[in-house]
């Protein structure tokens, strides 16, 4: 065999012994031990986050990320899914009144709360405290909530964000769970979706990432509707979307505000989303309706006349026309028949019996 045919990789060391450089890290033989140490994932924030995973929640200001997080955590404590003494809500982004309100809730439910500047705690001490819990073999089943993430690490700094996420991962690998609350950018993507603030390292290094977005406000009932949407998940034990409502009345106490949080069904969420879309398109919808009623109902004429009347680009009119065409009287406003030479002729649908939410 020539030298070129010889395998350049050998398992024999320079002294003729088999190398054990990797052997000491092998998990072979540890299956029963690891299985015994493992814990089944338990619902932690409704069905959008579970124990045993690190989850980050992104939301714009005043969307309700802290409100929903606290209420859903409280639900888990009250239901006995997690122990209150194992849950640490770390509040480093609040004023004195906010600290008092949240502390009153924490004491009523029975979970722990830390706050910036109280009892000498600062956000900068967190990493060392987590490392001490790991060293003391005390991380298992402990849940840490960071409100908000930017107070603990510079999320715009790739090295710092990655390093901090690495420490949180180590805490997680020792049996802990982290929920981090974070902000989105001011501007949305072209698709209308929220964009998380900071580098991608947090999303990359966490198990689960959620966007919490407002879906509308019902002024008559004083309710805001918000939706969690999963943008990253490991495993199938969390849902893709979940929608909640809560009160936005000005004269409500914080404890009543927390108790006003309710999950709504998928069907109701779809109705709310459709209502929001219709409100956003109302200016063009109204013009298209007028044109159809005036007999300007073939597609070519309709697009031209509606564009001129609405003062918007032709593509905008065409998109709205397409969105609301069809036979469903709740979802659609008009439908078409095919006339001579394939021409589409539009007609308005009969007015539906409106759902109370519309």
CATH number at residue 127: 3.40.50.300
**Residue 123 and residue 73 in one domain:** yes
336 and 250 Cβ atoms separated by less than 8 Å? no
Domain coverage including residue 295: 282-348
CA angle 123, 67, 124 (to 5 degrees): 5
Are 335 and 187 in the same domain? no
Q: What is the pLDDT of residue 276?
A: 83
Kindly state whether residue 163 falls inside one of the protein's structural domains: yes
| 13 falls within a domain | no
Distances (CA, A) of 308 to 207, 304, 321: 50, 6, 15
Q: Which of 275, 306, 338 is the last residue of a domain?
A: 275
pLDDT given at position 135: 96
Q: How far is Cα of residue 27 from the mean position of the Cα atoms in its chain?
A: 34
Q: Write the burial class of residue 60 (CB in 10 Å: 0-12 exposed, 13-18 middle, 19+ buried).
A: middle
pLDDT per residue, tens digit, the chain (358 aa), is 555 555 554 444 455 556 678 888 898 988 876 665 555 689 999 999 999 999 999 999 999 999 999 999 999 999 999 999 999 999 999 999 999 999 999 999 999 999 999 999 999 999 999 999 999 999 999 999 999 999 999 999 999 999 999 999 999 999 999 999 999 999 999 888 999 999 999 999 999 999 999 998 888 889 999 999 999 988 768 999 999 999 999 889 999 999 999 999 988 888 888 888 898 899 999 999 999 999 999 999 999 999 999 999 999 999 999 999 999 988 899 999 999 989 999 999 998 655 444 4
- The beta strands (E) that lie in 184-267 are given as 208-218, 223-232, 241-247, 262-264
Q: Which of 237, 259, 275 is the last residue of a domain?
A: 275
Tell me the C-alpha distance between 118 and 112, whole Å.
13
Query: Is 32 domain-assigned?
Result: no
326 neighbors 352 (Cβ within 8 angstroms):
no
Q: Do residue 199 and residue 304 come from a single domain?
A: no
For the chain, the domain total comes to 2
Closest CA to 318 of 351, 347, 281: 281
115's enclosing H/E stretch is strand 112-115
Q: Assign residue 304 the CATH number of its domain.
A: 1.10.10
- The residue among 218, 252, 275 that closes a domain is 275
């Amino acid at each position: 065999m020539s030298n070129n045919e010889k395998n350049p990789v050998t398992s024999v060391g320079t002294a003729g012994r088999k190398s054990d450089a990797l052997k000491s890290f092998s998990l072979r033989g540890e299956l029963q031990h690891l299985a015994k140490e493992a814990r089944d994932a338990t619902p932690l924030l409704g069905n959008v986050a579970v124990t045993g995973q690190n989850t980050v929640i992104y939301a714009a200001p005043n969307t309700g990320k802290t409100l929903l997080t606290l209420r859903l955590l409280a639900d888990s404590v009250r239901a006995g899914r997690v122990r209150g003494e194992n849950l640490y809500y770390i509040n480093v982004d609040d004023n004195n009144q906010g600290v008092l309100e949240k502390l009153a809730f924490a004491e009523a439910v029975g979970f722990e709360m830390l706050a910036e500047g109280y009892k000498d705690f600062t956000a900068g001490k967190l990493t060392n405290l987590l490392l001490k819990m790991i060293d003391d073999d005390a991380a298992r089943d402990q849940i840490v909530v960071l409100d908000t993430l930017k107070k603990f690490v510079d999320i715009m700094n790739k090295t710092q964000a990655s390093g901090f996420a690495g420490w949180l991962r180590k805490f997680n690998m020792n049996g802990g769970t982290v929920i981090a609350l974070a902000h989105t950018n001011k501007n949305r993507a072209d698709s209308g979706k929220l964009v998380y603030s900071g580098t991608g390292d947090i999303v990359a290094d966490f198990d689960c990432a959620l966007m919490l977005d407002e879906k509308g406000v019902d002024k008559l009932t004083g309710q805001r509707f918000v939706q969690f949407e999963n943008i990253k998940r490991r495993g199938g034990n969390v849902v893709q979307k979940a929608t909640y409502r809560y009160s936005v009345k000005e004269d409500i106490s914080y404890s009543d505000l927390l108790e006003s949080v309710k999950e709504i069904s998928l069907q109701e969420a779809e109705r709310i989303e459709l209502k929001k879309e219709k409100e956003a398109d109302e200016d063009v919808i109204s013009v298209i309706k007028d044109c159809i009623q005036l007999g300007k109902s073939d597609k070519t004429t309709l697009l031209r006349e509606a564009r001129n009347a609405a003062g918007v680009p032709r593509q905008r009119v065409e998109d709205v026309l397409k969105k609301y065409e069809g036979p469903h009287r709740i979802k659609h406003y008009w439908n078409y028949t095919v006339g001579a030479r394939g021409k589409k002729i539009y007609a308005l649908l009969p007015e539906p019996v409106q759902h109370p939410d519309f």
